[in-house]
Structure 1
Amino acid sequence: MPGARLTQEERRLIAAGLTARLGYGEIARQLDRPTSTITREIARNGGPSGYRADNAQRATVRRSRRSKAPAPRVPEGSAGGAGHARGAGTGDGRDQAAVEAYATQLAELLAQLGMPRMVGRVLACLYVTDCGSLTAADLVQRLGVSPASVSKAIGYLEAQELVRRERPEGESRERYVVDDDIWYRAMLASAQRNTALAEFARNGADLLGVRTPAGARMTEASVFLELAGTDIVRAVQRRRRGHSG
């Protein structure tokens, strides 16, 4: 049993265990499976909050079919093969299951911080690739989601300046790219939003009257937002100067 693939009934028991807030070790003991098997199963199928037994079963069937199909030849150094990320099978010594688990944990953290769950999954998937770019088809295949879901998530990430599009010469498909400095640019975009909010709050204070309680509240908000935006810009500039030095 420990070496066999998980059955659909076992996946339902995993889902029930997660609903009951059991630990991975307890679920593993109930199924007489290694804890690492349960950890990988949950990590690659939506994480503890997104795990669904039926979805996990279907994803396993799809992966099994793909593994039986002949793999397309990817030229050495081609970005098209970066998703399997230069992972297991490229001789770099990485544990692909651990990489997938890390990407899932990153997506979970981003969701806890307020990012829409699908957006976080797409960003995490891109971020753990060495080349930092994937096509829409790559993302659909890796995440097991619809093209529409990927498109919506990419639109959100572009608006936040976390992802950009490019079409390399000679390629027919667009690639979605995360650059090394995406967090710098994202923070600058956040500072710009703070500045816009500060100006809007100042206008509100003028309208309401700066001596009224509501106007004073707006004035305080505008001062705070402006200072926060300035501090962000200064922090980013200091960090960039440190890198360039």
Structure 2
Amino acid sequence: MPGGRLTQQERQQIALGLADGLAYAEIARRLDRPTSTVTREVMRNGGPTAYRADLAHRATERRAQRRRQAAPRGAAAPEQAYGRDAEAVREYEETFTTVMMASGMPKMMSRVMTCLTLTDTGSLTASELVQRLQVSPASISKAITFLESQGMVRRERDERRRERYVVDDDVWYQAMIASARSLTQVIETARQGVGILGRDTPAAARLENTARFLDFVSESTIRAAEQAREILHTKTETTSGGTAEPRSDRG
């Protein structure tokens, strides 16, 4: 499988594949590239409807030039914990961010979520996020407010009274529960409409079916999330050799 940066010819093939309505996986197969590479390339360059090969190629060259200019001469890459490959970690951060964006999360919220998730402590202060992502404090504040409303992060104070933003180990459980419960108001409103529109009318029947469907999905999601956490939830222990090993809380 070829490595390195995408060539301009490969970007043209991606653009043709998108124009033909091909899935990312099929485009990647034709290029003999990972699907994540194609997904990241498209999402960071306008998305599937606005992707242009020449514009994407020039944008990639500009980003590479900015990174070279920003890095002090002779400066080594920051040392990574647990002997990680710094370049591999950076590439993975981009992939994770792209996947979050593809799921519907806005770009800045995706970047903050990725940064917190891939931090071993699972928590950072606002100033640490600003420094890592090279964005304004206002951007961080807006992203945290959004993520907090979705149950993805929480706030706490450390021993120095600084506010820290935390991603818990069961963040996806919390997010799924919050999402399922957010349907409650939609369900209740739909059922109110049944009485207003007349129970025996087509519109009321449509609303009743909507309420029943969402009610079933909500209850099933909550039940499945609770069962999955009970069975699969793991915590990380650090061995004496400095490596992290997952363990299950369940016997």
Q: CA deviation at 1:63?
A: 3.7
Tell me the secondary structure at the aligned position of residue 182 of structure 2: helix
Residue 242 of structure 2: aligned partner: none
Out of 193, 196, 199, the residue aligned to residue 188 of structure 2 is: 199
Cross-structure match for 1:61 = 69
Q: Quick one: which of 221, 227, 230 aligns to 1:232?
A: 221
1:61, 1:46 → 2: CA distance?
25
Q: How does 1:87-236 map to 2 (within 5 A)?
A: 89-90=79-80, 92-171=82-161, 173-236=162-225
Q: Percent identity?
A: 43
Quick one: which amino acid aligns to residue 122 of structure 1?
Answer: V
Q: Partners in 2 of 1:205 and 1:170 — Cα distance?
A: 55
Q: Distance in 1 between matches of 2:223 and 2:125?
A: 35
Q: Distance in 2 between matches of 1:63 and 1:18?
A: 28
Tell me, yes or no, if the aligned pair for 1:162 and 1:186 is still in contact at 8 Å: yes
Using the TM superposition, give the Cα deviation of residue 58 of structure 1 relative to its aligned residue in structure 2, in angstroms: 4.0
Aligned to 2:45, which of 49, 62, 81? Answer: 49
How well do the aligned residues superpose, as a CA RMSD in angstroms? 3.3
- Report how far residue 113 of structure 1 moved: 1.1
Query: Does the Cα contact within 8 Å between 1:46 and 1:104 map onto a contact in 2?
Result: no
Q: Which moved more, 1:99-108 or 1:218-227?
A: 99-108
- The Cα of 1:227 is off from its aligned counterpart by 0.6
Three-state SS of the structure 1 residue aligned to 2:196 is helix
How much does 1:221 deviate?
A: 0.6
How far apart are 1:46 and its partner, in Å?
11
Richer in strand (by share): 2
Q: CA deviation at 1:214?
A: 1.3
Distance 1:165 1:17 in 2: 46
Higher relative helix content: 1
| 1:55 to partner: Cα distance | 5.4
Which one-letter code corresponds to 1:151 in the other structure? S
Q: Tell me the matched-pair count.
A: 196
1:21 and 1:137 map into 2 onto residues whose CA distance is 41
Tell me which amino acid in the other structure corresponds to 2:186: L
Contact kept in structure 2, 1:47 and 1:104, CA below 8 Å? no
User: 1:222, 1:203 → 2: CA distance?
Assistant: 10
TM-score computed with the length of structure 1 as normaliser:
0.68
Structure 2: 5+ residue stretches without partners: 1-5, 16-36, 47-55, 234-248
SS class of match (2:45):
helix
Instruction: Provide the secondary structure at the position in 2 that maps to 1:92.
Output: helix
Q: Secondary structure at the match of 1:131?
A: coil
Secondary structure of 2:165's aligned partner: strand
Contact 2:153 2:167 in 1 (8 A): yes
Structure 2 distance, partners of 1:237, 1:203, is 30
Residues 186 and 211, structure 2, Cα contact 8 Å, conserved in 1: yes
Cα offset, 1:161, TM superposition? 0.9
Q: Partners in 1 of 2:7 and 2:148 — Cα distance?
A: 34
- Is the contact made by 1:198 and 1:222 (CA closer than 8 Å) also made in structure 2? yes
| Residue ranges of structure 1 left out of the alignment (5+ in a row) | 1-13, 24-39, 69-83
Q: Deviations over 1:68-106 (max 9, x none)?
A: 9xxxxxxxxxxxxxxx9xxx6256221111112111111
CA deviation vs aligned residue, 1:136-160 (integer Å, no higher than 9, x gap): 2222222222222111111100000
Q: Deviations over 1:179-211 (max 9, x none)?
A: 101111111101111222111111122211222
How far does residue 169 in structure 1 lie from its aligned partner after superposition? 1.1
Residue 45 of structure 2 aligns to which amino acid in structure 1?
S
